[in-house]
């Protein structure tokens, strides 16, 4: 295998282990496009885990800047970095807009800090930058760099998927001092940031989480309604959306504990959900 092929294979392996839902979703894409989707999603995964591998935000900012320089062509030779190597190859092959990738970096910069998420609108904007942008780029890959239409579907799908992921990650975020639940929603239900950080479950918190689940479902429904506007060949970019109702339903069982329950599903259940979902697109 060539070095480039090795690097694509490394991205696939990374995604399979660390972002299995997106990896499974790529199985529904044409085989010749999967490696490029792996490159795109591995890039997002690399950004998402920066906070976990740095000791302070400034070190994370340096890593973010490295990616900006690499994408703008100012970072020198980057082929030694497997993800950068295949991402730039994918950008060139499909004429992907670099600014959309820059938007993902900007959105992920928020992850480096413990700043509060001020409003629901701010949260939706964050999800749009970090998740909807990825789906839009995946659509371009699936459409061979041509306009796939369906920007509305990609936007809502990304927000629904990201919101669901953030709700699933509430226990981990609370432990490390991060809170993505918007302050205006918490205030509305009489919940303080300090109570969430302390892992205190109250009726107010349950109501706030229910409101966030309803918001995720709203975007899920909007994405499905807008999907027909997208060119058929690009709709595989929406496949990760299939797990949204699966996870949300598991948060609404009587045994759900926001700070203790690990929301997941067996591999066969996720595959079935995506197969069923694919029949609807």
Query: Looking at 91, 113, 135, which one is the last position of a domain?
Result: 113
In whole angstroms, what is the distance from residue 124 CA to residue 104 CA?
14
Query: Looking at 56, 83, 113, which one is the last position of a domain?
Result: 113
> Token pair of 46, please?
């690399």
Whether 87 and 201 map to the same domain: the answer is no
Whether 196 and 87 map to the same domain: the answer is no
Whether 224 and 250 map to the same domain: the answer is yes
What is the full per-residue pLDDT of the chain (281 aa) written as tens digits?
Answer: 699 999 999 999 999 999 999 999 999 999 999 999 999 999 999 999 999 999 999 999 999 999 999 999 876 667 889 999 999 999 999 999 999 999 999 999 999 999 999 999 999 999 999 999 999 999 999 999 999 999 999 999 999 999 999 999 999 999 989 999 999 999 999 999 999 999 999 999 999 999 999 999 999 999 999 999 999 999 999 999 999 999 999 999 989 999 999 899 999 999 999 999 999 88
Whether 99 and 184 map to the same domain: the answer is no
Cut 0.75: pTM above it: yes
What DSSP designation does 131 have?
A: I
Matching residue, tokens 């001020």: 118
DSSP per position, 231-261:
-GGGGGGGGGGGHHHHHHHHTTSTT--TTT-
Is residue 148 within 8 Å of 230, Cβ to Cβ? yes
Picking from 269, 220, 238, 86, the residue whose alpha carbon sits closest to that of residue 150 is 238
Whether 122 and 216 map to the same domain: the answer is yes
Picking from 136, 51, 38, 132, the residue whose alpha carbon sits closest to that of residue 85 is 38
Picking from 221, 231, 127, the residue whose alpha carbon sits closest to that of residue 180 is 127
Query: Looking at 113, 128, 143, which one is the last position of a domain?
Result: 113
Domain enclosing residue 33, as ranges: 1-113
Domain CATH for 151: 1.10.600.10
CA 74 to chain centre: 27
> Token pair of 222, please?
């909007």
Other Cβ atoms closer than 10 A to 28: 20
Note the maximum CA span of the chain.
Answer: 58
Whether 69 and 139 map to the same domain: the answer is no
Over its C-alpha atoms, the chain yields an Rg (Å, rounded) of 19
Q: Total domain count for the chain?
A: 2
In whole angstroms, what is the distance from residue 109 CA to residue 105 CA?
6
Picking from 205, 118, 104, the residue whose alpha carbon sits closest to that of residue 162 is 104
């Amino acid at each position: 295998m060539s070095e480039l092929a090795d690097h694509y294979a490394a991205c696939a392996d990374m995604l399979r282990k660390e972002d299995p839902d997106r990896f499974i979703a790529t199985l529904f894409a044409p085989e010749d496009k999967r490696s490029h989707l792996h490159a795109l999603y591995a890039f997002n995964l690399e950004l998402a885990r920066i906070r976990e591998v740095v000791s302070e935000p400034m070190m994370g900012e340096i890593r973010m800047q490295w990616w900006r320089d690499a994408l703008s062509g100012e970072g020198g030779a980057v082929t030694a970095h497997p993800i950068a190597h295949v991402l730039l190859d994918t950008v060139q092959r499909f004429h992907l807009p670099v600014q959309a990738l820059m938007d993902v970096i900007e959105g992920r910069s928020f992850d480096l800090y413990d700043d509060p998420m001020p409003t629901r609108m701010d949260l939706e904007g964050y999800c749009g930058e970090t998740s909807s942008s990825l789906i839009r780029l995946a659509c371009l890959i699936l459409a061979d760099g041509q306009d796939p239409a369906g920007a509305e579907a990609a936007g809502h799908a990304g927000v629904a998927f990201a919101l669901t992921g953030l709700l699933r990650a509430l226990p981990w975020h609370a432990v490390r001092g991060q809170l993505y639940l918007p302050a205006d929603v918490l205030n509305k239900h009489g919940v303080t940031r300090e109570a969430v950080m302390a892992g205190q479950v109250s009726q107010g918190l349950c109501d706030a989480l229910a409101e966030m689940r309803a918001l995720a479902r709203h975007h899920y429904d909007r994405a499905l309604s807008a999907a027909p506007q997208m060119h058929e060949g690009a709709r595989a970019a929406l496949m990760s959306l299939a797990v949204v109702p699966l996870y949300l339903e598991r948060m609404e069982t009587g045994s759900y504990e926001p700070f203790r329950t690990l929301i997941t599903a067996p591999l066969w259940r996720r595959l079935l959900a995506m197969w069923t979902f694919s029949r609807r697109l």
